[in-house]
Amino acid sequence: MIIDAFAGSGGVPDDPAFDMDEFAVDYEMGNDPAQVDLEELCREFFAPGGTLFQASAVNGSPCEERPQQLAMACAVSRALKSGGNLCVEAPTGVGKSFAYLLPLIHYAVNRRRPVLISTETINLQHQLIEKDLPFLQELTGVEFQVALAKGRSNYLCRRRLAMLSGEQRDMLLPVPQMVLDVEKIIHDLESGRDDNYLNGIRENSRIWHMVCSESGNCAGPKCEFYRNCYYYRARRKWDAADIVVANHALFLTDLAIRQESGGGGTLLPDYAAVMIDEAHTLENNAAAHLGLHLSKSAMIGLMNRLYNPERTRGLLMHPGEKMPELRALAQFGRDEVYGFFVSYEKLLEEAGNSACRLDEHVPDAEPSDLLAVLDKLGSRLSEIAENCDDDNFRTEISSNGEKCRLFADMIRSFVARLMEDAVYFVEKEAESISCCASPLNVSQLLRELLFNGDLPVLLCSATLTVAGKFDYFLERTGFTGGEMLELDSPFSADQAKLLLKKSMPEPDSPDYNSHRARVICEMVIANGGNAFVLFTSYQSMKACQQLLSGEFALHGLPLLVQGDGIGRSEMLRTFQSVPGSVLFGTDSFWTGVDVPGESLTLVIITRLPFASIGSPLTSARMEKLEAAGKSSFAHYSLPEAVLKFRQGAGRLIRTRRDRGVIAVLDPRIITRRYGRNFINSLPYSPEIID
């Protein structure tokens, strides 16, 4: 829990002497927001002797005063009252979720309009939905509704599932195992399995793309399964909720749709305010979700769904005199998809990299034949849909025709570079390849779409400032129109040691990998495991794994390595439950991971996290700065690395009781002038060791 008094309880204490009613006094509010003093409510709740302290005292474990938490809650209250924006850096331990939730709850209930909370990680979503919001509801006595909003493809479509299990089964499912998968899903759903079960299907099933909800093939209220539709059932909960919790991807997608439709078409409810938690990822999320992403695997999947010649399966196996011609067209289209991506695959192979920037048109990637096929399929499938009596088949055919037209539009946009001020690149993704375009004017887009709107936009994160200033974050995100608040940490500087390894070779030295592995081994064994080892690349992590896995096994230290067939959540559960565990992680473990207590007492940062200049987006951003007469190192590379460094180091100390060591194995933190920027970004006194 975020409140020490209830740590380990998972919520409100079961003490029968604890009467929630006596702590719900003065929480009945009128309908006029102007009559509610949000700041005063926050002071009554968070101040010494207030509601929170009284509840803690009844539990027998008084909570400590957190002036930073009250300061943040009051700042949120002021922004909501004025309609302005707010940007808050709230270090770990401040209790930021309670600080913004309390005023947001009152604001939403009084306005009778929902507020939206957007997060980066699933872990924070679950914390808000399962712990923090239920706790506050019981403690305050305020009645409010909460809903978790996920992207549409996360929900099962009952109509598509029924279609796969009915007369279309043999036509659509290419292998017998998929038939068994469908039968198992139906059996388990009839047995009353919940949404968590559906999440498991989504992550592991090979047929999820064939049974998930999609906008293009949804019949809406006309569907026979509409009343029990998973997606619309969730939408009804969103619409009835006071607090809607979503992720950045859905929020930004909705933002783009609102802009394109002039507010006429939206995914999320008409919210009165938005809180963007984990806002340090806002720029990169905006670049990803306000850009273009054209996947080879998605296009091949579309063609195979229409007609798979190897399996003789697909929608176009449906009876009809025009079907043989369309099957031939789909087969030709699949060949053209492979051909279109060949040139880009060669570029990646020649570059020897997983991503390659496109500074000019690739002449060999000629899409004219592919575009002709997609256009023809789109129009022919629409004609078939208009004259079809089978509702299910008509919906599927119409949806796939729309996908053909969408892919054609994306190819034209990519090849003609219709997105201005953007970087165009191709990247390898598992067994697929994608053509991408990301906007370089993210700050301008966010300023126009988000911060200059008519509702309060609140941002918070543990890491937004560099050298105590918000300048870098403001420049990258375009935040404007409100207050900026930097809170100090409630933790003591003596809770952790910052060890800087002096005798390390430079990272580009041929001896660096072997030397680094030896030092990691010594530190981890001396600590008895309980360590995070954070890498800046997958390749260096795997190289270190090969050198150390045997040594750790000899000392009885379980090694968990990202990408070894176990998911991120399962890795964390295992790490916390098995004493002495060691976790090797790359990018996703530098942030959004919470492991309090003795399970984690050592964090090793193997290299200063400068972004790779081989990344197309990074290189384009740096070039844009240089063209504007600015140093790309000073205005981008260094501050970006410092923020990520702070995130990585922040994995260690999560509560006032935590103790441990942060070790940095990159000698540049000592030998380079810029190293001071990293050292000074942490509150711990550095100790240089040989």
Which of 461, 516, 506 has its CA nearest to residue 484?
Answer: 461
- Give whole-number Cα distances, 619 to 543, 613, 636, in Å: 26, 5, 10
Q: How far apart are CA 517 and CA 188, in angstroms?
A: 47
- Give whole-number Cα distances, 171 to 163, 181, 305, 393, in Å: 10, 16, 10, 12
Q: Where are the alpha helices (DSSP H) in 191-220?
A: 195-204, 208-211
Residue with tokens 């008094």: 5
Q: Find out whether 445 and 410 touch, Cβ atoms under 8 Å.
A: no
DSSP structural state of residue 453: S
What letters, b where the CB count within 10 A reaches 16 and e where it falls short, cover 104-133? Answer: bbbbbbbbebbbbbbbbbeebbebbbebbb
Using DSSP's 3-state secondary structure scheme, residue 584 falls into: strand
* pLDDT confidence of residue 49: 77
* pLDDT confidence of residue 216: 77
Q: How far apart are CA 554 and CA 550, in angstroms?
A: 6
Q: Which class for 191: exposed (0-12), middle (13-18), buried (19 or more C-beta within 10 A)?
A: exposed
**Residue pLDDT, tens place only, 393-402:** 888 899 899 9
* pLDDT confidence of residue 3: 27
**Residue pLDDT, tens place only, 148-198:** 999 888 888 888 888 777 656 665 566 666 777 777 777 667 666 655 556
* pLDDT confidence of residue 29: 39
Q: How far apart are CA 506 and CA 523, in angstroms?
A: 19
Q: Where are the alpha helices (DSSP H) in 122-175?
A: 122-127, 133-140, 158-165, 169-172
DSSP structural state of residue 462: S
DSSP structural state of residue 128: I
* pTM greater than the 0.95 cutoff: no
* pLDDT confidence of residue 146: 97
Which two three-digit tokens encode residue 91? 């270090």
376 φ/ψ sector (left φ>0, alpha ψ -120 to 50, else beta): alpha
Which of 410, 316, 328, 427 has its CA nearest to residue 371?
Answer: 410
Return the amino acid letter for 423.
Answer: V
Using DSSP's 3-state secondary structure scheme, residue 549 falls into: helix
Residues of the chain with pLDDT under 70: 1-35, 56-63, 166-177, 187-188, 190-206, 261-265, 363
Q: Find out whether 112 and 31 touch, Cβ atoms under 8 Å.
A: yes
* pLDDT confidence of residue 47: 86
Sheet arrangement for strand 602-605: 559-561, 582-585, 531-534, 602-605, 660-664, 496-501, 686-689
Using DSSP's 3-state secondary structure scheme, residue 224 falls into: coil
Gap between the terminal Cα atoms of the chain: 39
Return the amino acid letter for 674.
Answer: Y
H, E, C per residue of 625-681: HHHCCCCHHHHHHHHHHHHHHHHHHCCCCCCCCCCEEEEECCCHHHHCCCHHHHHCC
* pLDDT confidence of residue 283: 96
Which two three-digit tokens encode residue 65? 């005063």
* pLDDT confidence of residue 26: 40
DSSP structural state of residue 48: T
* pLDDT confidence of residue 2: 25
Return the amino acid letter for 442.
Answer: V
* pLDDT confidence of residue 20: 44
- Give whole-number Cα distances, 651 to 110, 308, 363, 589, 648, in Å: 37, 48, 47, 9, 6
* pLDDT confidence of residue 392: 80
* pLDDT confidence of residue 195: 58
Q: Find out whether 55 and 24 touch, Cβ atoms under 8 Å.
A: no
Spell out the long-range contacts of 262-265 with Cβ–Cβ below 8 A and sequence spacing 24 or more: none
Q: How far apart are CA 246 and CA 135, in angstroms?
A: 19
- Give whole-number Cα distances, 372 to 30, 365, 400, in Å: 61, 15, 16
